[in-house]
């Protein structure tokens, strides 16, 4: 099965399993052939009949005080700074995020846990805090699963997506898999323990191009790398105004400004931006608002701005990089097109 057919399989199976609640199992193939260049124009068709918009469906009753309902979600991308974002927002006094990052409710636990289980994660929030959670797996949700978010959290839920160079993101994710196996950690949600039973060392030079391309051919690698489809799906449910797309590189280059923009998107005043000492929050911290007067928070962020970012542990070898470009360049082009033409952003990957 070539990469294009795998992409079709991913599209159909992800929607069908979301509707049925069944789990999806795919066979790992270390000898997968090198994929041909892609024409992505018709490769992400998910179903002949799109599901009804969730505004026409029953809304789920929140089983706790409404002041504890999340008003925003971070949906990814995986390996694109979501841990930095979680830690930064969790340290802000006006935000509440669960102490354990990645609740995985909408992609996993909703199948076996009721909404009360989800609500319990936010029970310690105060009435004046803005509540949210960050689970990168949400970037690969189907329209049916995104509709469940709408039915649970409502039409005004804010969505945050941080985008990283797709080749770097995928390679970083593959290296994380190797490290997790060697360290005896539980594989991430798109891996299977059987894939790793014979691995003894996580150095990438021990694995040939066919191994990595086999991993990149996996349907969940495909789904997490197709940023354009992720954005289109969330826009179709929540609209453009409820979507923030940030650049991973800004975590290294301008972290204070990036976080200030996210705070503003979530309902507060921008604050924290500008050069040295410029744009610092000077407004009043009104009760119930996010505000921008917490200079200590932004100053502390400046001191540790790169604490949770890292470069790729090793350069991608030339032979593998060439193969990855053939797979991922069309996905990058699709993403750059949507953020420019539909969202009006000036940067690109």
Q: Where do the structural domains in the chain lie, given as residue ranges?
A: 3-341
Which one is predicted more confidently, 300 or 55?
55
The pLDDT assigned to 346 comes to 95
Q: How far apart are CA 314 and CA 97, in angstroms?
A: 33
Which one is predicted more confidently, 299 or 142?
142
> For a pLDDT cut of 90, what percent of the chain falls above it?
53
The pLDDT assigned to 255 comes to 93
Which one is predicted more confidently, 4 or 212?
212
Residues with Cβ within 8 Å of residue 212, at least 6 apart in sequence: 171, 174, 204, 320
The pLDDT assigned to 218 comes to 82
Determine contact, residues 130/267, Cβ cutoff 8 Å: yes
pLDDT digits (tens, 9 = 90+) for 69-107: 999 999 999 999 999 999 999 999 999 999 989 999 999
The pLDDT assigned to 112 comes to 85
**Cα torsion angle, 320, 324, 326, 329, sign:** negative
> For a pLDDT cut of 70, what percent of the chain falls above it?
66
Q: How far apart are CA 181 and CA 201, in angstroms?
A: 9
Determine contact, residues 139/224, Cβ cutoff 8 Å: yes
- pTM of the predicted structure, to 2 decimals: 0.75
Residues with Cβ within 8 Å of residue 148, at least 6 apart in sequence: 54, 106, 110
Mean pLDDT of all residues in 1-7:
53
Identify the residue whose tokens are 């599901």: 51
The pLDDT assigned to 9 comes to 59
Residue 298 pLDDT class (50, 70, 90 cuts): low
Mean pLDDT of all residues in 11-20:
52
- Check pLDDT > 90 for residue 323: yes
Superfamily of domain 3-341: P-loop containing nucleotide triphosphate hydrolases (3.40.50.300)
The pLDDT assigned to 197 comes to 46
Q: How far apart are CA 244 and CA 162, in angstroms?
A: 8
Question: Comparing C-alpha atoms, which of 164, 209, 161, 218 is closest to residue 187?
Answer: 218
Determine contact, residues 240/189, Cβ cutoff 8 Å: no
Q: Which of 46-60, 93-107, 175-189 has maximum average pLDDT?
A: 93-107
The pLDDT assigned to 28 comes to 32
The pLDDT assigned to 215 comes to 87
Residue 48 pLDDT class (50, 70, 90 cuts): very low
The pLDDT assigned to 94 comes to 92
pLDDT digits (tens, 9 = 90+) for 185-237: 444 444 444 444 444 466 787 888 998 998 888 887 888 999 999 999 999 99
- Check pLDDT > 80 for residue 17: no
Residue 156 pLDDT class (50, 70, 90 cuts): very high
pLDDT digits (tens, 9 = 90+) for 109-146: 998 889 999 999 999 999 999 999 999 999 999 999 99
Q: For the chain, what is the mean pLDDT?
A: 77
Mean pLDDT of all residues in 277-290:
36
Mean pLDDT of all residues in 53-80:
93
- Check pLDDT > 50 for residue 37: no
Mean pLDDT of all residues in 306-333:
77
Q: 102-119 as b/e, with b when 16 or more CB fall inside 10 Å? A: bbbbbbeebeeeebeebb
Which one is predicted more confidently, 232 or 294?
232
Residues with Cβ within 8 Å of residue 157, at least 6 apart in sequence: 70, 71, 72, 73, 149, 150, 238, 242
The pLDDT assigned to 204 comes to 81
Lowest mean pLDDT among 130-134, 147-151, 310-314: 310-314
- Check pLDDT > 90 for residue 153: yes
Q: How far apart are CA 295 and CA 316, in angstroms?
A: 40
């Amino acid at each position: 099965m070539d990469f294009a057919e795998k992409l079709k399989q991913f599209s159909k199976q992800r929607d069908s399993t979301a509707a049925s609640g069944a789990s999806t199992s795919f066979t790992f193939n270390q000898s997968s052939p090198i994929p041909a260049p892609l024409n992505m124009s018709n490769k992400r068709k998910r179903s002949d009949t799109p599901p009804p918009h969730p505004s026409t469906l029953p809304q789920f009753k929140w089983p706790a005080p409404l002041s504890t309902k999340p008003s925003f979600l971070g949906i990814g991308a995986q390996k694109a700074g979501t841990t930095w974002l979680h830690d930064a927002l969790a340290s802000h006094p006006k935000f509440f995020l669960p102490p354990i990052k990645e609740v995985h409710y909408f992609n996993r636990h909703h199948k076996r846990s009721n909404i009360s289980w989800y609500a319990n994660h936010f029970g310690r929030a105060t009435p004046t805090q803005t509540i949210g959670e960050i689970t990168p797996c949400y970037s690969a949700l189907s329209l049916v699963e995104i509709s469940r978010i709408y039915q649970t959290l409502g039409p005004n839920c804010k969505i945050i997506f941080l985008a990283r160079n797709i080749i770097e993101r995928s390679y970083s994710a593959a290296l994380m898999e190797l490290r997790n196996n060697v360290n005896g950690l539980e594989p991430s949600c798109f891996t299977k323990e059987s894939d790793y039973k014979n691995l003894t060392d996580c150095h990438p030079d021990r694995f040939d191009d066919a191994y990595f391309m086999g991993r990149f051919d996996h349907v969940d690698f495909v789904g997490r790398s197709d940023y354009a489809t992720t954005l289109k799906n969330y826009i179709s449910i929540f609209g453009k105004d409820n979507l923030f797309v940030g650049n991973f590189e800004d975590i290294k280059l301008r972290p204070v400004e990036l976080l200030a923009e996210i705070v503003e998107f979530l309902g507060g005043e921008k604050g924290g931006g500008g050069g040295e000492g410029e744009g610092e929050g000077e407004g009043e911290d009104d009760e119930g608002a996010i505000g921008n007067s917490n200079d200590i928070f932004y100053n502390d962020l400046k001191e540790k701005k790169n604490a949770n970012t890292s470069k790729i542990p090793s350069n991608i070898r030339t032979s593998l990089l060439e193969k990855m470009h053939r797979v991922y360049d069309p996905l990058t082009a699709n993403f750059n097109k949507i953020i420019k033409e539909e969202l009006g952003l000036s940067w690109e990957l």
